[in-house]
């Protein structure tokens, strides 16, 4: 029998309900637990996250060096442009902008509370034709 049943990434923030709503929509997930100071969700792909109230939470300042990186999340996606539109539509913001005319394999963003994350293009695993 495994000692650890499941792991949960927990982000501190001043408004856990709002941050949980952002990630719940982004991950096509569902809320699995909520108390006055914590909200937990499970994404459609099984990823579990929780958001804990900390009234003194300070948003990270990444990419500036002061208070820059408290945690960082990576999400694999099949289409960077579609994922970016969803992130921005939900209130996230780009942190690293690249020349849109060139192909890039990852892009950096901040959620509405300032936590940084990266969208990485899922590598194509289909065999090459011809």
3-class DSSP state for residue 120? strand
Looking at residue 102, what is its pLDDT?
46
Q: What is the pLDDT of residue 125?
A: 60
Whose CA is closest to 53, among 36, 37, 32, 31? 37
Helix (H) or strand (E) holding 88: helix 80-89
What's the pLDDT tens digit per position in 78-130?
888 999 999 999 999 998 766 555 455 888 899 998 888 888 887 666 555 55
Mean pLDDT for 8-30 is: 94
pLDDT in tens, 100-113: 554 558 888 999 98
Handedness of CA 37, 35, 19, 64 (dihedral sign): positive
Q: Return the higher-pLDDT residue of 8 and 40.
A: 40
* CA–CA gap between residue 24 and residue 118 (Å, rounded): 17
What is the average pLDDT across 56-78?
Answer: 73
Q: Which of 6, 12, 109 is nearest to 48 (CA)?
A: 6
DSSP state of 61: -
Q: Please give the residue that has the higher pLDDT: either 5 or 44.
A: 44
Residues of the chain with pLDDT > 70, as a percent, come to 75
- Answer yes or no: is pLDDT of 50 > 70: yes
Indicate the length of the chain as a whole number.
130
pTM for this predicted structure: 0.73
pLDDT value, residue 127: 57
Cβ–Cβ under 8 Å, residues 72 and 110: no
Predicted pLDDT of residue 36: 93
């Amino acid at each position: 029998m495994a000692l650890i049943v499941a792991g949960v990434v927990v982000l501190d923030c001043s408004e856990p309900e709002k941050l949980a709503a952002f990630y719940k929509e982004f991950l096509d997930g569902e809320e699995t637990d909520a108390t006055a100071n914590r909200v937990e969700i499970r994404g459609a792909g099984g990823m579990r996250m929780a958001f804990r109230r900390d009234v003194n939470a300070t948003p990270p300042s990444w990419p500036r060096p002061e208070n820059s990186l408290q945690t960082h999340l990576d999400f694999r996606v099949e289409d960077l442009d579609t994922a970016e539109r969803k992130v921005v539509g939900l209130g996230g913001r780009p942190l690293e902008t690249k020349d849109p005319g060139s192909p890039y394999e990852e892009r950096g963003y901040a959620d509405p509370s300032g936590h940084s994350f990266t969208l990485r293009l899922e590598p194509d695993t289909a065999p090459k034709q011809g």
